[in-house]
Structures are given as structure tokens and as C-alpha cells.
């Protein structure tokens, strides 16, 4: 009887111990489930925060992209503006350069007649009569009505006279007389014209005498008049001796 009771108690005890073990497992599993839920919740929270950050980052990137577009647009506009300024400056520089070159040309043009004349005159003073003649011819060819053309014709005649080019010298003096009849060089030009005529191979004595006499008549107190008188006296034929009566 006692053994029978003991045997009956064994399954009950085993069952009781099994129940205790199962409850512990359940509690442990429940704790693990709670931990897992907590982890999942944290993960979901982190994921949500990450999603928010991703959205913020995306917005920032979009904003940055727009900013970059704006910057790019501004840079393009700035580049275009700089190109316009560069083109404008180039045009202004070119215009200024043209103005300066024009002014230089005008200055050179205004100075050129005087330079040509002075160079020729200096050559004349240095007895470089060929250089002087070429210089005066160059001046007269380029500036026939120039302010110094009167002197150029006269000193051209002088240069040619000293080179014994009588015909050309006479023509130069004749130009002074024709183009500048009121010039102070008229007395000298008449005298030298007459002197050049007397050097020609053909007989120009009568014409030469006519000019020599005009110098004496029109400019009696001039040095040229004295020289003209000397020439006239030498050119006059000697008086034939008077015939003696028988």
C-alpha cells in the first residue's frame, strides 16, 4: 500500500517538476521576446531617424544642387559680362590706338615740310649742293604750295647754279619771279636769273641785260643793283673811237 502510493506520487512529482521547468522556459522566452521587441523598436526608431536624416541630406543635396546651378548660372553670366567688358576694352584700345596713330601722322605731316626744307638748307650750308638740290626738289614735289616753297625755289636755283647747271638754275629763279612777284628775294632772283642766262651756250645777252637793268631801276639801293651795274658795264660794247678829220 505504501509502495503503491509512492509509485503514484512519482508521476505527479515528475509532472510538477516538468511544469516548473516549462514555466521557467516560458519566462525566459518571454524575456527574450521582450528584448527582441525592444531591439526591433530601437531599430525601427533608428531607421526612422536615419530616414529623417536621409531626407534632410536629400533636401540639402537638392538645395546644394540648386545652389550649384545658381552658382553655375552666375559664373556663366559673369563670364559673359567679362567677355563683353573685354570686347569693349579692346574696341576702346583700338580706337585710342587709331586716334594716337592719326595724331602722330598729323604731327609728322605737319613737321615733315619743315624737316625736308631744313635738311636741304643744311646741306646747302655745308656745300652739299647735290643733296640740297634733291632736298628742295623733294619738298617742292610734295608741298608745291607750302609756306617755304619760295625759299625752296630760290635755294634750288642757288644749288644748281653752284653745280653749273645753268638752265635748271635759271628755271628755278624764274619760278620765284613768277610765283612770288612781291618776294624780298625778287632782286636776287632777277640778278641770278640774268647771270644764269649769261652762262648758257645760246645767246641770251639781251634778255639778261633787260633783267639786270630792271634790278638797277626797281631796286637802286640794293646790293644786287650794284652787282647788276658791274655786269651791265661789262656787257656794254665798247664805244668805237671817234673818227679823226682829214
Percent of the residues in the chain that have a pLDDT greater than 70, as a whole number: 82
Q: For position 3, what pLDDT does the model report?
A: 53
The pLDDT confidence band at residue 141, using thresholds 50, 70 and 90, is very high
- Grid cell for residue 199: 652762262
Give the contacts of 162 (CB within 8 A, at least 6 positions apart).
127, 129
- pLDDT range class, residue 179, cuts 50, 70, 90: very high
Of 140-144, 201-205, 229-233, the one with minimum mean pLDDT is 201-205
Q: Which sign does the torsion angle of CA 131, 137, 142, 144 carry?
A: positive
Contact 170, 193 (CB under 8 A): yes
Distance from C-alpha of 51 to C-alpha of 43, rounded to nearest angstrom: 12
* Mean pLDDT along residues 24-39: 81
Lowest mean pLDDT among 120-129, 149-158, 234-243: 234-243
Per the CB < 8 A criterion, the answer to whether 201 and 235 are in contact is no
Q: What does the alpha-carbon distance between residue 153 and residue 147 come to, in Å, rounded to a whole number?
A: 12
pLDDT value at residue 17: 56
Q: Output the pLDDT for position 63.
A: 80
Q: What is the pLDDT of residues 190-210, one digit of tens each?
A: 999 999 999 999 889 999 999
Question: What's the maximum distance between 2 C-alpha atoms anywhere in the chain?
Answer: 236
pLDDT of 239 strictly over 80: no
Contacts of 193 (CB under 8 A, 6+ apart): 157, 170, 173, 174, 177, 211
3-class DSSP state of 241: coil
The three cell numbers of residue 156 are 634750288
Q: What is the pLDDT of residue 41?
A: 84
Residues 230 and 147: their CA atoms lie apart, in Å, by 34
Please compute the mean of the pLDDT values over residues 91-116 and round it to a whole number: 72
**Confidence label for 31 from pLDDT (cuts 50, 70 and 90):** confident
Q: How confident is the model at residue 56 (pLDDT cuts 50, 70, 90)?
A: confident
Assign residue 117 a region: left if phi > 0, alpha if psi is -120 to 50, beta otherwise?
Answer: alpha
Residues 153-172 pLDDT 10s: 999 999 999 999 999 999 99
Choose among 183, 121, 187: nearest CA to 158: 121
Computed over every residue of the chain, the mean pLDDT equals 85
Alpha helices in the chain (DSSP H): 2-125, 129-142, 149-162, 166-179, 186-199, 205-218, 223-235
pLDDT for residue 130:
98
Give 63 or 148, the one with higher predicted confidence: 148
Burial class (CB in 10 A: 0-12, 13-18, 19+), 180: middle
Amino acid at each position: 500500500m505504501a509502495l503503491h502510493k509512492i509509485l503514484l506520487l512519482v508521476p505527479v512529482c515528475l509532472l510538477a517538476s516538468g511544469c516548473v521547468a516549462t514555466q521557467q522556459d516560458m519566462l525566459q522566452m518571454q524575456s527574450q521576446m521582450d528584448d527582441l521587441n525592444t531591439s526591433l523598436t530601437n531599430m525601427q526608431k533608428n531607421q526612422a531617424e536615419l530616414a529623417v536624416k536621409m531626407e534632410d541630406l536629400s533636401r540639402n543635396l537638392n538645395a546644394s544642387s540648386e545652389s550649384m546651378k545658381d552658382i553655375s548660372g552666375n559664373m556663366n553670366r559673369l563670364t559673359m559680362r567679362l567677355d563683353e567688358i573685354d570686347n569693349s576694352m579692346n574696341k576702346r584700345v583700338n580706337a585710342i590706338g587709331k586716334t594716337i596713330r592719326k595724331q602722330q601722322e598729323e604731327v609728322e605731316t605737319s613737321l615733315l615740310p619743315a624737316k625736308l626744307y631744313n635738311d636741304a638748307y643744311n646741306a646747302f650750308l655745308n656745300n652739299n649742293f647735290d643733296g640740297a638740290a634733291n632736298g628742295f626738289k623733294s619738298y617742292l614735289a610734295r608741298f608745291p604750295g607750302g609756306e617755304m616753297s619760295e625759299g625752296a625755289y630760290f635755294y634750288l636755283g642757288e644749288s644748281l647754279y653752284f653745280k653749273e647747271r645753268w638752265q635748271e638754275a635759271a628755271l628755278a629763279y624764274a619760278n620765284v619771279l613768277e610765283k612770288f612777284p612781291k618776294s624780298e628775294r625778287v632782286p636776287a632772283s632777277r640778278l641770278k636769273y640774268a647771270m644764269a642766262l649769261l652762262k648758257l651756250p645760246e645767246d641770251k645777252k639781251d634778255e639778261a641785260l633787260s633783267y639786270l637793268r630792271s634790278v638797277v631801276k626797281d631796286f637802286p639801293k640794293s646790293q644786287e643793283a650794284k652787282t647788276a651795274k658791274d655786269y651791265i658795264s661789262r656787257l656794254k660794247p665798247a664805244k668805237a673811237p671817234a673818227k679823226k678829220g682829214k
